[in-house]
Every structure is written in C-alpha cells, then in structure tokens.
Amino acid sequence: MKILVVYFSRNGHTARMAKEVARRCGADLDAIQERDSGATGWARWRVGWQMLVRANPPILQPRRNPRRYDLVIIGAPGTRLGVAPAVRTYVSQYRDCFNRVAFFCAEGPDADERVFAELTRICGKSPEAIFRVRRKGLPPAAHKDGLTDFMNDLRVE
C-alpha cells in the first residue's frame, strides 16, 4: 500500500508528529506550505481572520501528487476555530484525488473533534482512523501507545 503523510505545521509540533507517523508506516511525506507565510503580527491576524471566515488561502504546489497514493494521512494543528486555512485549501483542492484518508491532530486543546469533523466534511469521506496528541503527549514516548493503535486501525503495521 502506498501512503502519503501530508501536514501543515506552524510551530513544529505537527511536523514532528508527521515525521513519526511517516516513519512508522513507511510513507512519503509532504508539507503543506502557505504561499504567503510569516510570523509577523499581521500574518497571525490574517490566519485568524481566514479561520473565522473559512477562507482558502493560496498554497504552494505540493511536491507529491495524492492521486498516486492508496491512503493519504492528513495532519493538522488543533485550534478552537477548526482546520488551519492552509489545510482547508489543500483538502479542498485535492479531495477528489484521495482514495482513503486518515487524520491526526497535534496539540488540540479539545479542538481535535472540530478539526476531524471539518476535515471529514471537506473530504467528503470518513477517515479510516484518527490520532490525537495533546500538548503533554508531544514527546514521542508519551504518545507511543496511541500511535500504535492508530497504525493498527490503518492496518499498515
């Protein structure tokens, strides 16, 4: 089975999780990148506004074509406002290419259910599995069992 792990990370937590998930299931890895990214106050305000209005900001062309994969695992940071705008754009643009999907959410302060529900709605598909990691579980040893369960749900290990 060919697997792609695609993710968006603003502060590195989701990126670390994506790399661990990809390593565990032998998947290819691709980062979702905003066209106009930045860490300025204006950039943070813009992202907050995009989340509120459910905007789909422009993203860079992904390196890997999700159509070539049997399973696409989508990783997103957890926010109370839902899916990060760049992830929403990626999923909206490529949802017709997804055969099967799974989701993971890093550091969602009880926001992961909202993120998973929105991803399911945008994809138009139910996930094969979901994996959530709270901030306290970000050190790899703390989420080992949850990640093993996620892999078992995907039937890839």
Give the pLDDT confidence of 77-128 residue by residue, as tens digits: 877 667 888 899 999 999 999 999 999 988 655 667 888 988 999 999 999 9
| Nearest alpha carbon to residue 73 among 22, 113, 120 | 22
Beta carbons within 8 Å of 88's beta carbon, 6+ residues apart:
54, 55, 56, 118, 122
CATH number at residue 7: 3.40.50.360
The model's pTM is 0.84
pLDDT band at 50 (very low <50, low <70, confident <90, very high): low
Q: Comparing 131 with 135, which gets the higher pLDDT?
A: 131
Q: Report the number of distinct structural domains present in the chain.
A: 1
Supply the range of the domain harboring residue 83: 3-154
Q: Higher model confidence: residue 101 or residue 41?
A: 101
